[in-house]
């Protein structure tokens, strides 16, 4: 298809496609999707070569979140059956990082439920963990909600390298997903992390009832914020949450989303995270052909992922190499 070749050339120049062009890519039908994927794969290989990065997380504090994000099983507004527990010790965080490193992970993130970290004791415990994890050859990341610049600077001083904070969805759709905090709060946190000298990871979740245009809107807001990596999640509807009856996205639809992000931000790390197993199903290997160069290894916050050894075998079978 001549237009796809034209857009591939534009993306490979490093410029990235326009809003209208991104929307056009998302609107391709299933019969045209493999052409979009093939072009996205060439863009990925041009900027990222044959390398794949891996990340893992620990759910360091689970449940009882005050926020009402409609997709989240950890929200106190929902009735999802999950494990609920206070923050684990820094020794437990370290042990999880050690196991993640052993399984092949190159980046490890400490994740906590809640709007943010309000307790000095909890911040201190995370700082202890970051310092201890520094003895392992693994990148240190954290996803701790909405934080102040001072909190972020303290975490950086303890060894934090990257801060993760998703926008979740587009600004025009956010009010249907969460009403307990503002979209601007999320943007401010991302900017504060960059001002604190941290690398930033920010993306979203798809399948929340958003339109194609809103998917593109999110991509261009992320592009404006200029994070280093972009996690893409797909809704895995959990019983007891507001979105428990939402349908799973179709595999080819999800692959078009991944490809669109590669066309829009050709030089960024694109990370496929939660929901990939149930959404992509047998097409999981194609997430790399669609433009991803990074994925999450192991379990997610409240749902199970593939066995790490199975994902590593998949990457090897594709002729890709794991790198930092």
pLDDT greater than 80 at residue 1: no
What DSSP string describes 85-150? B-PPPHHHHHHHHHHHHHHT-SEEEEEE-SSS---HHHHHHHHHHHHHHTTSSSEEEEE-SS--HH
Tokens 């797909």 label which residue? 234
Convert the pLDDT of each residue in 134-161 to its tens digit. 999 899 999 999 999 999 999 999 999 9
> Exposed e or buried b for every residue in 109-141, given b needs 16+ CB within 10 A?
bbbbbbebbeeeebbebbbbbbebbbeeebbbb
**Which pLDDT belongs to residue 118?**
85
Grade residue 302 by pLDDT with cuts at 50, 70 and 90.
confident
**Which pLDDT belongs to residue 207?**
97
Judged by average pLDDT, the poorest of 45-49, 79-83, 221-225, 245-249 is 79-83
Q: What percent of the chain is modeled with pLDDT above 90?
A: 91
Distance between start and end Cα atoms, the chain: 35
pLDDT greater than 80 at residue 324: no
Q: What percent of the chain is modeled with pLDDT above 70?
A: 99
Convert the pLDDT of each residue in 90-108 to its tens digit. 999 999 999 999 988 999 9
> Which structure tokens are listed for 304?
């199970």
**Which pLDDT belongs to residue 83?**
87
Grade residue 46 by pLDDT with cuts at 50, 70 and 90.
very high
**Which pLDDT belongs to residue 24?**
97
**Which pLDDT belongs to residue 305?**
87
* Angle (CA) 279 225 265, round 5°: 55
**Which pLDDT belongs to residue 301?**
83
Dihedral angle sign, alpha carbons of residues 268, 269, 270, 275: negative
Fold (CATH) for 2-322 = TIM Barrel (3.20.20)
Q: Mean pLDDT over all residues of the chain?
A: 95
Convert the pLDDT of each residue in 234-265 to its tens digit. 999 999 999 999 999 999 999 999 999 999 99
Convert the pLDDT of each residue in 109-139 to its tens digit. 999 999 999 899 999 999 999 999 999 989 9
**Which pLDDT belongs to residue 300?**
85
What is the mean predicted confidence (pLDDT) over 261-284? 97
**Which pLDDT belongs to residue 299?**
82
What is the mean predicted confidence (pLDDT) over 157-186? 97
pLDDT greater than 90 at residue 34: yes
Phi-psi sector, 313: left (phi>0), alpha (psi -120 to 50), beta: alpha
Q: Where are the domains of the chain?
A: 2-322
Convert the pLDDT of each residue in 186-197 to its tens digit. 999 999 999 999
């Amino acid at each position: 298809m001549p237009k796809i070749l034209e857009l591939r050339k534009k993306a490979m120049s490093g410029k990235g496609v326009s809003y209208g062009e991104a929307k056009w890519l998302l609107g391709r039908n299933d019969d045209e999707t493999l052409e979009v994927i093939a072009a996205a794969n060439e863009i990925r290989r041009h900027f990222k070569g044959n390398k794949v990065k891996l990340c893992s997380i620990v759910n360091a504090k689970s449940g009882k979140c005050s926020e009402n994000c409609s997709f989240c099983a950890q929200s106190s507004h929902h009735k999802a059956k999950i494990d609920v527990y206070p923050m684990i010790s820094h020794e437990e965080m370290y042990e999880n990082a050690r196991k993640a490193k052993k399984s092949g992970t190159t980046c490890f993130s400490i994740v906590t439920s809640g709007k943010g970290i309000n307790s000095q004791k909890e911040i201190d415990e995370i700082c202890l963990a970051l310092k201890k994890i520094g003895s392992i050859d693994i990148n240190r990341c954290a996803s701790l909600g909405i934080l102040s610049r001072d909190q972020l600077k303290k975490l950086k001083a303890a060894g934090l390298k990257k801060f993760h904070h998703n926008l979740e969805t587009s600004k025009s759709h956010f009010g249907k997903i969460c009403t307990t905090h503002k979209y601007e709060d999320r943007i401010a946190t991302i900017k504060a992390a960059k001002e604190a000298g941290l690398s930033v990871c920010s993306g979203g979740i798809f399948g929340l009832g958003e339109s194609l245009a809103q998917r593109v809107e999110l991509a261009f807001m992320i592009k404006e914020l200029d994070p280093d990596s972009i996690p893409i999640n797909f809704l895995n509807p959990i019983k007891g949450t507001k979105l428990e009856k939402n349908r799973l996205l179709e595999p080819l639809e999800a692959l078009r989303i991944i490809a669109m992000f590669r066309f829009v931000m050709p030089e960024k790390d694109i990370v496929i995270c939660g929901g990939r197993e149930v959404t992509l199903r047998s097409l999981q290997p194609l997430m790399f052909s669609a433009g991803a160069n990074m994925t999450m290894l192991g379990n997610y916050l409240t749902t199970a992922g593939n066995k790490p050894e199975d994902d590593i075998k998949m990457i090897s079978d594709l002729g890709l190499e794991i790198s930092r």
